[in-house]
Amino acid sequence: MILNDSFSSVGGSPTLSTEIEAVRGMLQSVGKVAVFTGAGMSAESGIPTFRGDGGLWRGRRPEEWATPQAFMQSPEEVREFYQWRRGIVEEAQPHAGHLALGKWSSGDSHHVEIVTQNVDGLHQRSGCSRVWELHGSLWSQHCHDCGTQESDLEKTHCPCGGRLRPSVVWFGEGLPSGVWAESERAMRESELILVIGTSAVVYPAAGLVGMAAREGIPIVEINPEPALDSQTVCITGPAAKVLPILLA
């Protein structure tokens, strides 16, 4: 079922469509909610998805820098690439949808856990506290040799002598087992799932949505265009517009 986010205005203030009222009713009838987000959520804050025609960095597509092979061959250039990415994120601001989700998730009415494919930390900056980052974080690094974590992004080497690398999941690498287990638990235990800003085609992360659908958990998709085959309801529209109304 596809429900369009048709808004009207009374006295200059947006009002809810009948359809979005129905989804609000679904949310109000449950206690545990998982929110699964992807690159589209951050794109509304101006952060490139790196999967479209986003241009090149030093003559190569950004995906080409996000590999263990690139790090082994050109560690300093990979480091500079991630410094560039952090600069983009630092200039970006959480949009209205992020802020609405942060306020709602920190309230007492629901137990909300965020499972995100994004590495930018915008959910945390918006006030979300229970966030599982499937693909890691731009804001931490670890030793390529021994795995020791390091929060100081200015450091380049571990005490063991190994190089420090961004704590993000590169192409060809597996997801962190602990984060994966917690994300799977959060999805399984939820009574309803919001899927926002993702087409859920990047595996293995996308498998969490399919798993939830097979177990009969209601799924509300919020995307500019319908992208899932397994949703219970789809609200078409940008998260920055839909979430402040839906979660008010």
Check 95, 135, 144, 157 and give the catalytic one: 135
In this structure, the strands spanning 111-116 and 136-143 are unpaired
Question: Which of these, 122, 156, 127, lies nearest to 138 by C-alpha position?
Answer: 122
Q: Is 135 a catalytic residue?
A: yes
The distance in angstroms from the start CA to the end CA of the chain is: 23
CA distances from 110 to 29, 101, 107, 124 (A): 10, 12, 7, 18
Q: Supply the residues annotated as catalytic.
A: 135
